[in-house]
Amino acid sequence: MTREDLQPLKEVAGLDDRGILDLSLVTAYFAFVNRLADSLGVEVEPGGPPHATRD
């Protein structure tokens, strides 16, 4: 990441530094929880969202 990578988030999406931090934290947490669930073999309950298949 460079400072230039953040410009679209600020200029197009209208995020400030706090918004970019929040976006980063939510994204990191989502990735963490998905990896944790995968490593523990958590199954999706019937009627829940479809589980992505891996190639």
With contact defined as beta carbons under 8 Å apart, do 9 and 15 qualify? Answer: yes
Q: How does pLDDT run across 4-46, given as a tens digit for each residue?
A: 999 999 999 999 999 999 999 999 999 999 999 999 998 877 7
pLDDT at residue 49 is higher than 90? no
* In-domain check, residue 46: no
Instruction: Write out the H or E segment, with its range, that includes residue 35.
Output: helix 17-40
* In-domain check, residue 50: no
Residue 33, C-beta contacts closer than 8 angstroms, at least 6 positions apart: none
pLDDT at residue 48 is higher than 80? no
pTM recorded for the entire structure: 0.66
* Torsion sign over Cα 26, 32, 35, 36: negative
In the chain, how many domains are there? Answer: 1
* In-domain check, residue 16: yes
